[in-house]
């Protein structure tokens, strides 16, 4: 039997994602429900190393479920990559008696948690918080749905002006090495083409299909490019302008608006469920896993198996893009 946990720390680490606050709230309130003391660790692992740790009460997390960003702030912490940094972090937890951790972040943060836990025997539970949805072991990550909805709203607006001027817009969306934001938002906005890193981009096919559509006077407004695609939005625009000089081409890079804003219902729900199950896991003695969701059920993956999702994109999805854009 593992030792009963009495005090837990919660932190947000790596890239921020809308819904992190809802997850913090769920962790704090479930922890207090179970009679645990809960501490907030500021700026990811930096707060652990620099001893920036605050007690959290039920009231500390009031009125945050609807807010983007993270009240605990987030950071990347180089010191934590070294043993000396992690030892300092452990000492700072020990002096408060913190004997369990919930880490809300991406696969990098989970790797850090796994190493820390194996060195100092502190049980850790991960919650996948990233807009990129690039972690194996979960169908969704906290923040993805909000980021996609923000992208859809912005792309719809660009489409209005594209349509008014008969212009072609190449819109770049976020996602790091993953194309999920591009794929989801591109299908939802009726994009002509979606360029993602998981699929080799055939420039010639794109240009030929645009030429063919120009001949039959089909108006093409939108091409969505994932930031991780081998071609950047500007490069694609350059190739199109060269081959089809009559076409008016514009580039729009959506950028950081995709990280902010009030989380969607789905992200709040996901964060609340995951936060609750993170604490339940700690209490029940299920340690060093991250909580995912697969087929709408909680799914637990060992932290040391946390890897970036490099899945093959379902061919159906690419067919949908092609057929619906004719
Ligand atoms: P994400 O969690 O979004 O993937 P990063 O990969 O930047 O973001 O990781 C966030 C933080 O997790 C890093 O700044 C570092 O503090 C910690 N971390 C990541 N990888 C390791 C590792 N191999 N060892 C120790 N800490 C790590």
Same domain, 139 and 190: no
318 within some domain? no
33 with 182, same domain? Answer: no
Q: Indicate whether 156 and 285 sit together in one domain.
A: no
> What is the residue range of 176's domain?
145-259
How far, in Å, from the CA of 304 to the mean position of ligand 1? Answer: 13
**Residue 187 within a domain:** yes
Same domain? 237 vs 153: yes
pTM score:
0.96
* pLDDT given at position 151: 98
Domain boundary among 259, 275, 295: 259
Q: Which residue among 14, 110, 309 has the greatest number of ligand 1 atoms within 8 angstroms of its CB, and so is best to mutate?
A: 14
- Res 214: pLDDT: 85
Rounded (5°) CA angle 270-123-139: 25
195 plus 109 within the same structural domain: no
Ligand 1 centre distance from Cα of residue 111 (Å) = 7
Q: What is the mean pLDDT of the chain?
A: 94
Ligand 1 centroid to residue 112 C-alpha, Å: 5
Is 315 domain-assigned?
A: no
Whichever domain contains 65, its CATH number is 3.40.50.450
* Sole residue written with tokens 């709040």: 268
Whole-number CA gyration radius for the chain? 22
Question: Is there a contact between 10 and 38 (Cβ–Cβ < 8 Å)?
Answer: yes
- In a shared domain, residues 137 and 155: no
> How many of the other CB atoms lie within 10 Å of CB of 136?
15
Residue 322 included in any domain = no
Give residue 219's pLDDT: 80
**How much is the pLDDT for 308?**
67
Catalytic residue list: 132
**Total structural domains in the chain?**
2
User: Which of 45, 86, 90, 109 to mutate to test ligand 1, by most ligand atoms within 8 A of the CB atom?
Assistant: 109
Same domain? 160 vs 302: no
Convert the pLDDT of each residue in 18-54 to its tens digit.
Answer: 999 999 999 999 999 999 999 999 999 999 999 999 9
Residues of the chain with pLDDT under 50: 1
Of 259, 274, 290, the residue at which a domain comes to its end is 259
Q: Which of ligand 1's atoms lies nearest the C-alpha of 110?
A: 2
In the listed set 231, 259, 287, which residue is the last one of a domain according to the structure?
259
DSSP 59-114: GGGTT-TT--S-TT-----SGGGSHHHHHHHHHHHHTTT--EEEEEE-HHHHHHHH
Please report the pLDDT score of residue 312 as a whole number.
67
Q: How much distance in Å is there from the Cα of 290 to the middle of ligand 1?
A: 15
CA 264/CA 144 separation, integer angstroms: 10
- Same structural domain for residues 99 and 154? no
In contact, 85 and 49? CB cutoff 8 Å: yes
Residue closest by Cα to atom 5 of ligand 1: 108
């Amino acid at each position: 039997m593992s030792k009963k946990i009495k005090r837990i720390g919660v932190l947000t680490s790596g890239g921020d994602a809308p819904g992190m606050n809802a997850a913090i709230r769920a962790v704090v309130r479930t922890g207090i429900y179970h009679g645990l003391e809960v501490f907030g660790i500021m700026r990811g692992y930096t707060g652990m190393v620099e001893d920036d740790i605050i007690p959290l009460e039920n009231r500390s997390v009031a009125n945050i479920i609807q807010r983007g960003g993270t009240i605990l702030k987030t950071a990347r912490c180089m010191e934590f990559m070294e043993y000396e940094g992690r030892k300092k972090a452990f000492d700072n937890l020990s002096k408060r008696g913190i004997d369990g951790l919930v880490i809300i972040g991406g696969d990098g943060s989970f790797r850090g948690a796994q190493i820390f836990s194996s060195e100092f025997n502190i049980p850790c539970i991960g919650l996948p918080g990233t807009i990129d949805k690039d972690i194996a072991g979960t169908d969704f990550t906290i923040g993805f749905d909000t980021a996609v909805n923000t992208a859809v709203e912005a792309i719809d607006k660009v489409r209005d002006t594209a349509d008014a001027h008969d212009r072609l817009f190449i819109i770049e969306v976020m996602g790091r090495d993953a194309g999920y934001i591009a794929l989801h938002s591109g299908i939802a906005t009726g994009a002509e083409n979606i360029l993602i890193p998981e699929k080799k981009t055939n420039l010639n096919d794109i240009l030929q299909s645009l030429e063919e559509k120009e001949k039959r006077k089909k108006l093409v407004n939108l091409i969505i490019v994932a930031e991780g695609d081998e071609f950047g939005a500007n490069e694609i625009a350059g190739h199109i302008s060269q081959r089809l000089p009559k076409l008016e081409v514009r580039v729009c890079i959506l950028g950081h608006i995709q990280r902010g804003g009030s989380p969607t219902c789905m992200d709040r729900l996901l964060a609340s469920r995951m936060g609750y199950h993170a604490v339940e896991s700690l209490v029940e003695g299920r340690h060093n896993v991250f909580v995912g969701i697969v087929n709408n059920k909680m799914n637990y993956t060992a932290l040391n198996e946390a890897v970036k999702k490099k899945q093959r994109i379902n061919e159906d999805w690419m067919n949908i893009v092609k057929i619906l854009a004719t």
